[in-house]
Amino acid sequence: MTERPVFQTVDPATGEPGRRYEGHTPDEALQIARASRAAFDGWRATSFAERGRLMRAAAQVLRDRQAEFAELMCAEMGKTLADGRAEVEKCAGACDHFAEHAEAFLADEDVSFGDAKAKVAYRPLGAVLAVMPWNFPFWQVFRFAAPTLMAGNAGVLKHASNVPGCALAIEDVFKAAGFPADVFRTVLIPASGVEALIADPAVAAVSLTGSVEAGRKVAAQAGAALKKCVLELGGSDAYLVLDDADIEAAARTAAQARMVNAGQSCIAGKRFIVLASVREAFERALVREMEGYIMGDPRADGTKLGPLVRVADRDGVHDQVQRSVAAGARLLTGGEIPNRPGAWYPATVLAGVKTGMAAYDEEVFGPVAAVIEAADETEAVRIANDSEFGLGSGVLTGDLARGERLATDALEAGMSFVNQNVRSDVRLPFGGIKHSGYGRELARFGIHEFVNIKSVVVAKASSADRTE
């Protein structure tokens, strides 16, 4: 008999073990996926009105249990309660948005086709597998699930191994909302079990949010099975700080961009490329802003910086800082592991960062800002694009037309914001280029990823076929 995997949670704030969860065997996981595929046959026939009613009910469940789910995220991956509550509300908003707009996004489109009637129709594919990460354990699932289910697909969630409680809670949201049995299911399996699910005929397509390494593996597995996948991978987002920027405001935006979710975000600002004439002033202002993010109890009101997800991850961030300093970077603040249990790391600023340093070449998944000097705008753009990643980017400037030009035409990224920090929003497509992945989530572009975009042509009746 196959042994069941066990998932042990650990509180990142204390290092103390939390709840243990018994997982699914490989056979059970396959049976769950097949049950979802069977449920799809009935779900695809439901009206948009019925799907929307249930999706709005899911939004209400999220709001009713907001405090419970925020505490669950805090216990499993260290998110502050304030951020957790905001994340749950964002999920509810996504449910409402797609409940309202899915039918219009997926409406048949007539095509002029001579003597025949022609249209493009959007129809669901089947059961879609979502392989999701821990850093936004509710949001990254719902931004997949809300459009995917509203399109008429079923969903199977394989969540990160350190947030099993969140994974099961999300399944329960859809159950409590009244969705038909098996339309959305969670499988508690290790990463090694994903390949068998992708290969099984029950799974029609795959969505993954995670590391570049995980993306390569899933893309290869999906390719071998000739199944579509959408990949949202890492990022090393660059922000240009131009010589006409309001330096205090730019530093405030930069710190907000860097410190979202304790820096554990693919779209967090990581590299701040500053024109030489304002570099010293920006460094001083950025240090002041970053030092305002003081480590504190993630369950306490007002805490701006909680722990990182795991001690091993914290140690990896610290190693990147140390290697950068050893290679010549200047440590302006932070950079020391505190003497306390848990996965704590302070807000940190590195200056004088150059190519060949970890803070320049690698994604730093923690509260570490890297300041890179550029001689002029042309060099700043070159440095920003000198990365394997292309997820988000930003321009901080006093000239909005200049910022829009650079954001639109110069920066190699899937998203570019001027004088704001990059963030996901249901109204805008979300995704990247280069090693940040391919495909899009959210907006009408995201709901189109997992449908059959189908051409339908109907010949007009000839005169001989007509009846009086």
Which tens digit of pLDDT belongs to each residue from 264-293? Answer: 999 999 999 999 999 999 999 999 999 999
Q: Is 449 a catalytic residue?
A: no
Domain assignment present for residue 318? The answer is: yes
CATH code, domain with 85: 3.40.605.10
Domain assignment present for residue 25? The answer is: yes
Q: Are residues 135 and 203 located together in one domain of the fold?
A: yes
Q: 250-271 b/e with 16+ CB inside 10 Å = b? A: bbbbbbbbbbbbbbbbbbbbbb
**Closest by CA position to 368, among listed 421, 396, 329:** 329
Domain assignment present for residue 464? The answer is: no
Question: What are residue 325's phi and psi, to 5 degrees?
Answer: -65, -40
Read off the pLDDT band of 26 (50, 70, 90).
very high
For residue 71, give both structure tokens. 């505490």
Q: Which is the catalytic residue, given 74, 91, 229, 266?
A: 266
d(CA 309, CA 77): 5
Q: Are residues 373 and 441 located together in one domain of the fold?
A: no
DSSP 36: H
Q: Judge residue 45's burial from the number of C-beta atoms within 10 Å of its C-beta, 0-12 exposed, 13-18 middle, 19 or more buried.
A: exposed
Domain assignment present for residue 463? The answer is: no
d(CA 70, CA 62): 10
**Closest by CA position to 439, among listed 407, 417, 414, 416:** 414
Q: Are residues 92 and 218 located together in one domain of the fold?
A: yes
Q: Are residues 253 and 142 located together in one domain of the fold?
A: no
Read off the pLDDT band of 15 (50, 70, 90).
very high
Q: Are residues 266 and 359 located together in one domain of the fold?
A: yes
Q: Are residues 137 and 53 located together in one domain of the fold?
A: yes
54: left (phi over 0), alpha (psi -120 to 50) or beta: alpha
d(CA 95, CA 390): 28
d(CA 321, CA 319): 5
Per-residue pLDDT tens digits for 407-464: 999 999 999 999 999 999 999 999 999 999 999 999 999 999 999 999 999 998 764 5
Domain assignment present for residue 423? The answer is: no
CATH code, domain with 385: 3.40.309.10
430: left (phi over 0), alpha (psi -120 to 50) or beta: beta
Q: Where in the sequence is the domain holding 403, given as residue range(s)?
A: 237-418
Q: 58-89 b/e with 16+ CB inside 10 Å = b? A: bbebbeebbeebbbbbbbbbbbbbbbbbebbb
Domain assignment present for residue 168? The answer is: yes
pLDDT at residue 351 above 70?
yes
Q: Is 232 a catalytic residue?
A: yes
Q: Are residues 159 and 257 located together in one domain of the fold?
A: no
Q: Are residues 150 and 229 located together in one domain of the fold?
A: yes
pLDDT at residue 465 above 80?
no
pTM for the full predicted model: 0.96
Q: Count of domains in the chain?
A: 2
In this predicted structure, what is the pLDDT of residue 460? 84
Q: Are residues 182 and 70 located together in one domain of the fold?
A: yes
Q: Please state the separation of Cα 316 from the chain's center in Å.
A: 21
Q: Are residues 72 and 132 located together in one domain of the fold?
A: yes
Mean pLDDT of 326-355: 98
Domain assignment present for residue 264? The answer is: yes
Q: Are residues 214 and 242 located together in one domain of the fold?
A: no
Using H for helix, E for strand and C for coil, what is the string for 271-297? Answer: EEEEEHHHHHHHHHHHHHHHCCCCECC
Q: Are residues 229 and 244 located together in one domain of the fold?
A: no
Domain assignment present for residue 467? The answer is: no
- 127 sits in which H/E element: strand 127-131
For residue 131, give both structure tokens. 């392989």
Mean pLDDT of 204-215: 97
Half-sphere exposure of 60 (CA within 13 A, CB side): 10
DSSP 45: T
DSSP 205: E
Report the SS3 class of residue 270: strand
Per-residue pLDDT tens digits for 135-150: 999 999 999 999 999 9
Q: Which is the catalytic residue, given 171, 232, 362, 412?
A: 232
